[in-house]
Amino acid sequence: MKGFSMARFFKIEKKAIFCTMLIWITIAVTLVGGSSPVITSFTIAKLELLFVSAYFFIHGISSIKRICLQNFFSPSRLYLFLAICLIMSTLTNFNSDNEIESTVVSVSVIFKIIHFIFFTVLVSTLVEFALVQSEVFIYIPIAILFISVVVFLMGVGAFPSKLYDSSPLFPFARNIRYLGYLCTVGISIVVVLFMSEKSKVLNLFGFSCLIVSNCSLLVWLGGRGSLLSILAVITIYCIYLYQTGELRLKRVVPLLVLLILSVSTAYSLTCFEWNGPARFFNQGEVLQNIEDVNKLSSSRVLIWQQTLEAIGEKPWLGHGPEGYRLHPDHIFGLQPHNSILQILVTYGIIASIILLYIFVGFLKICKKQVYDLDNNYRQESVIATMVILGLAIHSLVDGTFYHSQPVFYAILAAATIISIEIKEFATNIG
Rounded-to-integer distance, Cα 406 and Cα 228, Å: 17
Predicted pLDDT at 5: 41
Statement: residue 274 has pLDDT above 70: no
Q: Please give the Cα distance from 259 to 172 (Å, whole number).
A: 24
Cite the DSSP H helix spans in 288-403. 290-296, 300-313, 339-370, 378-394
Model pLDDT, residue 8? 52
pLDDT at 134: 78
Listed residue (203, 259, 249, 237) closest to 379, CA to CA: 237
How wide is the angle at C-alpha 375 spanned by C-alphas 129 and 357, nearest 5°? 85
Q: Give the lowest-confidence range in 22-26, 65-69, 173-177, 325-329.
A: 65-69
Over range 411-415, report the average pLDDT: 97
Query: What percent of the chain has a predicted confidence (pLDDT) above 70?
Result: 81
Give Cα separations from 42 to 88, 101, 108, 424 (angstroms): 25, 18, 11, 35
pLDDT surpasses 80 at 429: no
pLDDT of residue 92: 95
pLDDT attached to residue 74: 54
Best CA proximity match to 352, nearest among 325, 313, 318: 318
Which pLDDT value is given to residue 203? Answer: 86
3-state secondary structure of 180: helix
Residue 427 has pLDDT above 50, yes or no: yes
Half-sphere exposure of 291 (CA within 13 A, CB side): 0
Helix (H/G/I), strand (E/B), else coil: 332 = coil
Q: Say whether the peptide bond before residue 160 is cis (omega within 30 degrees of 0).
A: yes
Q: What letter represents residue 190's amino acid?
A: V
Has residue 6 got a pLDDT over 50? no
pLDDT score, position 52: 95
The model's confidence at residue 89, banded by pLDDT at 50, 70 and 90, is: very high
Identity at 61, one-letter amino acid code: I
pTM: 0.91
Query: Rounded mean pLDDT of 12-25?
Result: 87
Is the pLDDT reported for residue 291 higher than 90?
A: no
The pLDDT value given to residue 345: 97
Residue 302 above 80 pLDDT?
Answer: yes
Q: What is the mean pLDDT of residues 66-87?
A: 75
3-state secondary structure of 173: strand
Cα 409 from chain centre: 4
Angle ∠(118,189,358) on CA atoms, nearest 5: 50
Report the distance separating Cα 180 and Cα 171, nearest Å: 13
Q: Which segment, 8-17, 160-169, 253-262, 420-429, is predicted with the most confidence on average? A: 253-262
The domains of the chain are located at 1-131+286-430, 141-282
Phi, psi dihedral angles at 171 (to 5 degrees): -60, 130
Nearest Cα neighbor of 197 from 251, 261, 135 is 251
**Mean pLDDT, residues 413-419:** 95
Please, what is the average pLDDT of the chain?
A: 85
